[in-house]
Structure 1
Amino acid sequence: MSGLAPFRDGLVLRDMVPRLSVFPDPATWSVRLRRASLALPPGDADLVRGELEPLLGPYDEVADAYRREPAPA
C-alpha cells in the first residue's frame, strides 16, 4: 500500500478508537498517542489499512494540495 490521502480527507482516528484493540480504554485513548511511538497489533493495522487504502491517491497527484493550502489564521 502506498499513496497519499487527499488533504483534509483522511481517516478520523477518534472514530476508529472503539474498534482498535491498541486502545483498551476508549475514554483515555489520546493519552496513548503522547508516546514517541505506538505499535499497532496486526489486527488493528489491517483495520486501519482497510479503511485508508480506498482513500489513497498517487502521491504526485495529491501532494500538491498539501503545499498550497494556506495556513490557518
Structure 2
Amino acid sequence: MNAHTEDAHALPPRGLARWLTSTNHKDIGTLYLLFSLLMLFVGGALALAVRAELFQPGLQLVQPNLYNQLVTMHGLI
C-alpha cells in the first residue's frame, strides 16, 4: 500500500476571481466599502448635473426627459 496519497486541492483563486467568489467577511466588507464609494461619486456627479441644469433659468444643458432621468437615478443611488 502506498502511504502517500496526493490531494487534488485547487489553489485559491487569485485576482478578480478571488474578489468575486470570496466568502471571506473581510473581502466582502472591502467590496461593500468600495461599492459605496463608487456610488458616492456617481450620485455626486448626477447631483452636479442636476444643479448645473438649475443654475440659471432658461439655460438648457440637458433635455427635459434626460433631466427627469438624472433626478430619478440620483434619488435611487
Q: Give yes or no for TM over 0.5.
A: no
Query: What TM-score do you get using the length of structure 2 for normalisation?
Result: 0.27
Task: Tell which structure's C-alpha radius of gyration is larger.
Answer: 2
Greater relative contact order structure (CA < 8 Å, 6+ sep): 1
